[in-house]
Amino acid sequence: MNSVKIVGAGALGREVLAALRVLGDEVRCFLVEPGFAGAPIRGIPVQQIEQRDDTWGDARYVLAVGVNDARLRLTQTLGETAEYATVIHPAAVIGPYVEIAAGAMIIGRVSMTTDIGIGRHSLINPGCNISHDCRVGDFASLGPGVSLAGRVTIEEGANLGVGAVVAPGVVVGAWSTVGAGAVVIRNVEPGATVVGVPARPIVRRPLQGV
Ligand SMILES: CC(C)(COP(=O)(O)OP(=O)(O)OC[C@H]1O[C@@H](n2cnc3c(N)ncnc32)[C@H](O)[C@@H]1OP(=O)(O)O)[C@@H](O)C(=O)NCCC(=O)NCCS
């Protein structure tokens, strides 16, 4: 049985909690960033990450925050000595020769065949299908129902929306975004956003008031 501290108490935090409960693991606390303090969630105490105590020093962290670069930032906050649990929902079907790095979150029914690498603090949502010889980079996330054909590379921090499909051998660049339902048949440039069938780049509007 693992003993875990969940960083993040939003929707992904609750999904990770659900997976850990199915696994029978022990969740010691939720840790949140300033501004997110709160009452216990499902009986589990919530602490500010900056004021965390060592009461649960043996428990390992899971970075259950949906924004990919926020997970990267949290690894810097927690420092090099932090230890991370890997969450693999028991409904996942994972073949031989699949390497899953520390901190990865596989939170539901997922299929992975063989010769696959899954990076640190990556997020694989329910319903994903990952075929032979794929690589999913550190901090990347696959939305629900994403399908990766063989030999696909998802680079660090890339974010694939629900139901996206990636054709064989395609490279999805670092910190890029793939829209919901896109069919990606050509490589995606780092930092780009692509949408549609076939997926094409769009220029996103800057956020207002930030
Ligand atoms: C791609 C995405 C990130 C773009 O978000 P955005 O920057 O706010 O973009 P906008 O909503 O301003 O849309 C910009 C243009 O792209 C189009 N577009 C956006 N998302 C699209 C998609 N998934 N498929 C096709 N076209 C899309 C819009 O219609 C709009 O076109 P227009 O300018 O001709 O009207 C977002 O639409 C998306 O698909 N997110 C995926 C979310 C998801 O699945 N998350 C998983 C959570 S587990």
| pLDDT score recorded for residue 210 | 47
Using one digit for the tens of pLDDT, what is the confidence trace for 14-48? 999 999 999 999 999 999 988 877 889 999 999 99
Ligand 1 midpoint to CA 91 (Å): 30
pLDDT higher than 70, residue 139: yes
Q: What is the residue-wise DSSP string for 137-169?
A: -TT-EE-TT-EE-TT-EE-TT-EE-TT-EE-TT
Query: What CA–CA distance (Å, rounded) separates 189 from 203?
Result: 13
Ligand 1 midpoint to CA 195 (Å): 7
| pLDDT score recorded for residue 53 | 67
Mean pLDDT (the chain) is: 94
Average pLDDT value for residue range 113-124: 98
Query: What CA–CA distance (Å, rounded) separates 61 from 102?
Result: 10
Parallel, antiparallel, or unpaired for β 200-202 and 193-195? antiparallel
Break the chain into its structural domains and give their ranges: 3-78, 87-197
pLDDT higher than 70, residue 198: yes
Question: 87-197: which CATH architecture?
Answer: 3 Solenoid (2.160)
Ligand 1 midpoint to CA 179 (Å): 6
Better pLDDT: 167 or 57: 167
pLDDT higher than 70, residue 196: yes
Q: Which atom of ligand 1 is nearest to the CA of 181?
A: 23
pLDDT confidence bin for 206, thresholds 50/70/90: confident
Q: Which residues line ligand 1 (CB under 6 A)?
A: 125, 143-144, 161-162, 177, 179-181, 193, 195-196, 202, 204-205
| pLDDT score recorded for residue 13 | 97
Q: Which atom of ligand 1 is nearest to the CA of 204?
A: 7
Query: What CA–CA distance (Å, rounded) separates 145 from 65?
Result: 19
The CA R_g of the chain, rounded to the nearest whole Å, is 17
| pLDDT-above-70 percentage for the chain | 95
| pLDDT score recorded for residue 54 | 64
Kindly compute the dihedral angle of the four CA atoms of residues 18, 93, 158, 21, in this order, to the nearest 10 degrees. 10
Class of 3-78 in CATH: alpha beta
Ligand 1 midpoint to CA 175 (Å): 16
In this structure, are residues 208 and 192 in contact, taking their beta carbons and an 8 Å threshold? no
